[in-house]
Amino acid sequence: MKGIILEKPGGEYLLSDSVAKPTPGKNQILVKSLVTGLNPVEGIQQQGMLVTAWPIVLGCDASGIVVAVGEDVKKFKQGDGVFGCTRLGEPGYGTFQEYFLMDEHITFKTPANITSVQAATIGVGLLTASMGLVSGTKMPLEAQPQKSAEDSEWVVIFGAAGSVGQYGVQLVEGLGADATLSHRIPVAEQLQGIATITGGKFSRVFDASAMAGDTGMQALADQSSISDSAKYFTTTNDWAPVEPRKGVEIHLITLGLIGKSGGVSEETVNKDIETYIPKLEQFLESGVVKPNEYEQVGDIGVEEVLKGLGAFKTRKNDGKKLVVRVSAD
């Protein structure tokens, strides 16, 4: 089958028509790739990180249709629309190819109100935001928790205009995430702005950008006036150390462990994701959470992924997710 392969770390993306079509194992499904979302992680993987074997086909923001089910699969049948985040950097799981594998328990069923293109904007972003807010800042996963009492708290999200951040905002919307600041102003002004907007009433900071670790930790340590409860900092940056601050619990998001096994962290992450998915499916079906806006690059076909990857490098980042249609619905 066709796929976009990378032969070695730092290599060029190449169109191949001889990629092996995988076979679904126990609790796995074989998915026909309809649309793939593009993510910053592919740039990191191209350089050699988060890849288990070479050559590799990348792509993890999946949207497709089930064409075969493995042993013991109960949630899905042939013809079902599915989406989510596939195992990163493992042969057989990349979305930049005609067919790929997904694991039953950590895969979403596409609701009728979500198109296959919209679905490709959700998996990585919504799961990462949930991991940050729920596993990281101990926020309950509720349908837009209401800003009820006077003493309700703010949640501070850095990178709120990005793919992950926009889903983060939707998950906390009812709590009052309704003021914004630009990260292009000096850090001192950002911190002052956070203090003015929140009045210090926050104990949760989510750095969805992976770039605001120092500012986020400083905000929690210096601006948060909540003294009687724990303070939580969570970040999508799981590759750089965060300097600890007294009273702040730090959590690094590791979506890269999705579908992996063999350690406590892998088990925890996958259990968490398995718990979130049924609730997130409800939020999407009821419209409480809406897919991010998108821009489709190229026409239809596996080879169009090459155009998408090129466009991703030079994107202006207007909040729209870049997606590529791999095959027709």
Ligand X SMILES: NC(=O)c1ccc[n+]([C@@H]2O[C@H](COP(=O)([O-])OP(=O)(O)OC[C@H]3O[C@@H](n4cnc5c(N)ncnc54)[C@H](OP(=O)(O)O)[C@@H]3O)[C@@H](O)[C@H]2O)c1
Task: Give the footprint of ligand X on this chain (CB under 6 A).
Answer: 39-41, 124, 128, 158-159, 161-165, 183, 208-212, 236, 238, 253-256, 317
Helix, coil or strand: residue 308 = helix
Query: Closest CB to ligand X belongs to which residue?
Result: 162
Locate 11 and state its tokens: 């290599």
For 233, phi and psi rounded to 5 degrees?
Answer: -125, 130
Which residue, 42 or 304, has its beta carbon nearer to ligand X? 42
Rounded Cα distance, 286 and 270, in Å: 25
Rounded Cα distance, 60 and 107, in Å: 12
Instruction: For residue 312, give the nearest of 43, 13, 15 by alpha carbon.
Output: 43
Torsion sign, CA atoms 179, 183, 185, 186: positive
For 19-80, where are the alpha helices, taking DSSP H only?
Answer: 41-46
Which residue, 79 or 241, has its beta carbon nearer to ligand X? 241
- Please answer whether residues 211 and 159 qualify as being in contact, where contact means their C-beta atoms are separated by less than 8 angstroms: yes
Least distance from ligand X to the Cβ atom of residue 212, Å:
4
Which residue, 1 or 191, has its beta carbon nearer to ligand X? 191
Which residue, 64 or 132, has its beta carbon nearer to ligand X? 132
Which residue, 110 or 128, has its beta carbon nearer to ligand X? 128
Locate 180 and state its tokens: 């914004």
